[in-house]
Structure 1
Amino acid sequence: MTDLGKGHPDGGGQDPYSEGRSMPFFPGPPGGPPLAAPTAAPPVPPAPGLAFGGTASATDPPGLINIEDEVVEKIAVLAALEVAGVAGLGGRRADGAGPAGAARPDRPGVRVLLRDDEVTLDLLVAVEYGSVIMEVARNVRANVTRVAGLMLGRRVAAVNVTVEDVRLPGA
């Protein structure tokens, strides 16, 4: 008999977090101790600007929560770059303004459309040569939908992926 069952409550092996590995993004194993309820913060006066959307519940303090489009764009870019086979984001404008192929170093290949409690994202991606393009595009759509929905706390209505380039890996 080996010592694999020692050190983990379910006996299925060692605890994966006991050897210096990082905790998952959303910690809290099922059946574990309940998380402490957050304490109420003092009310903050409303900030000028547009809110991300949504309606306040009776327990929310007054004020607006603003999420800039650039933040949503960055989330989409990082989520797309996590997918195997993505060489980078597109270089031409995702919003159709300007000449085709115009570089957008400030916002590479992403457009955000906010409506009510929903967000729609348009992405231009470059795929690594040798990858199955449709598979990479589906994986980009799935990962961006999942990550944006979790991080923004909003419904992702659509993620439109346009593959505009094929590049050599590492280029």
Structure 2
Amino acid sequence: MEQEHASSVGHVRIAEDVVATIAGMAASEVPGVSSMSGGIGGGIVEMIGKKNLTKGVKVEVGEKEAAIDLNIIVEFGSRIPDVARRVQERVKDAVEGMTGLSIVEVNVHIQGVNFANQDAKDEERVKK
């Protein structure tokens, strides 16, 4: 479904994929977010060298409002409630600012924790 805005000049339609891309990019920029979690299909796309900006994002767009669900992986050591709140704020601001839609909810689902950064720190300590 697409969001449509009417004006005296014509109509502007915003596709759900556009909203999902904006939300995915905004969420991935939040400190503490390791990656988006999108299941096996997203992993296959990344293996062949293409980054799927809508991975882990589900959007429902109405006439003037939208609801967004995000599936994320957090970095080890991050405070999960703080990361989730920042994701909600950043996504809401980005989508509302770029599309004019009213965001009624941003649901953040934590799908896992990435320990890669912790493993690198542990290896560095062993080398010293």
TM-score by length of 1: 0.58
> 2:57 matched to 1:119?
no
Give aligned pairs, total: 109
Matched, 1:143 2:90: yes
1:134 maps to 2:85: no
Which of 17, 39, 55 does residue 70 from structure 1 map onto? 17
Contact 1:112 1:122 in 2 (8 A): yes
Aligned match of 1:53 = 4
Contact 1:51/1:65 (CA < 8 Å) preserved in 2?
A: no
Pair 1:91-2:38 in alignment: yes
Say if 1:81 and 1:87, in contact at 8 Å, map to a contact too.
yes
* Alignment correspondent of 2:29: 82
Secondary structure at the aligned position of 1:116 is classed as coil
Aligned 8 A contact 1:53 1:115 in 2: no
Q: 1:103 aligns with which of 33, 36, 41?
A: 41
Unaligned runs of 5+ residues in structure 1 are 1-49, 93-101
Indicate the residue corresponding to 1:45 in structure 2.
Answer: none
SS, match of residue 13 in structure 2: coil
How many Å apart are 1:68 and its aligned residue? 1.8
Superposition misfits of 4+ residues, deviation over 2 angstroms: 102-107, 168-171
Contact 1:51–1:64 (8 Å) recurs in 2: no
Structure possessing the higher relative contact order (Cα contacts under 8 Å, 6 or more residues apart): 2
Larger radius of gyration: 1
Alignment partner of 1:155 out of 66, 89, 102: 102
5+ long unaligned stretches in structure 2:
46-51, 120-128
Residue 168 of structure 1 deviates from its aligned partner by 2.5
- 1:52 positional shift: 1.0
Alpha-carbon RMSD across the aligned residues, in angstroms, is: 2.0
Q: Is contact 2:4–2:14 with CA below 8 Å preserved after alignment?
A: no
Structure 2 CA distance for aligned equivalents of residues 53 and 74 of structure 1: 17
Question: What one-letter code is carried by the residue in structure 2 that aligns with 1:73?
Answer: A
CA contact (8 A) 1:87 1:169 kept: no
* Structure with greater proportional strand content: 2
